[in-house]
Structure formats: structure tokens, C-alpha cells
Amino acid sequence: EVQLVQSGAEVKKPGESLRISCKASGYTFVNYWIGWVRQTPGKGLEWLALIHPGYSDTAYRPSFQGQVTISVDKSTRTAYLHWNNLKASDSAIYYCVRHSTTSKWSPGGFWGQGTLVTVSS
């Protein structure tokens, strides 16, 4: 059974850095694209970035390029999303999502439980 277990809720101040995580199990980690989707009341669902653990290839939504960094640790089967300089507008629920198939052009078939990030002074 595919499972994506995300790290817990975070409360941070503007300007701080943060890394949230997603531990995958139940499938061959290096074969599937995995990424992050955020959800806010104002903008709904937005894909931020994707990564292929086997190829170390990444794809970022243009508006998030340079704002976040996606990475993986193959040894622990964990995906990460990292911020260097948080803003209040980064407050959202962040979902870890694995593609349904091994293709880059695939919908999000498996979702983590979500990580609530709150950025406030």
C-alpha cells in the first residue's frame, strides 16, 4: 500500500527558514515523480514543484522557482520542501503528492495528509 506521511504543523516568523518532509513507503521510490501542492483559501490548489528521485530531475511552477527548493533523500525515501526566507503569503496547507504512473505527465494519484504551515510575526 502506497503511503505518504508528512511532518507536523509548523509556526514560523517571516524571514525564517523551514523544511517540511514526506516519507514514502509501499512502492519503488526512485521510479515515480513526487511533488508538493499547496492549498490556500484565496488561490485554491497550486502545484509548486516535482522531482524524480531516480533521475534527480526537477520541475517548478514558474512563480515558485527560486522561492522553494524540492529535494529527496533516496536512502530514507523522503521528499522535502525547503524555504530560505518565509513570507506570510507562504501560510498554507502543503500536500505531498505522488504521480499515479511513472510518467512525468501524470495526475496526482497518492496524497499525504497535509502539513499546515503558518507564517506570522
Footprint of another protein (CB under 8 A): 35, 37, 44-50, 59, 61-62, 95, 100, 104-109, 111-114
The length of the chain is: 121
**Nearest distance in Å: CB 10, another protein:** 18
Q: Phi, psi (5° rounding) for residue 96? A: -85, 135
Closer residue to another protein, CB minimum distance, 10 or 46 = 46
Write the DSSP symbol of residue 86.
-
Q: Smallest Cα–Cα separation from 6: which of 34, 28, 32, 31?
A: 34
Nearer to another protein, 65 or 84 (CB): 65
Select 16 or 64, whichever has its Cβ closest to another protein: 64
Least spacing, CB of residue 16 vs another protein, in Å: 26
Shortest spacing between CB 62 and another protein, in angstroms: 8
Distances (CA, A) of 37 to 23, 24, 121: 15, 16, 24
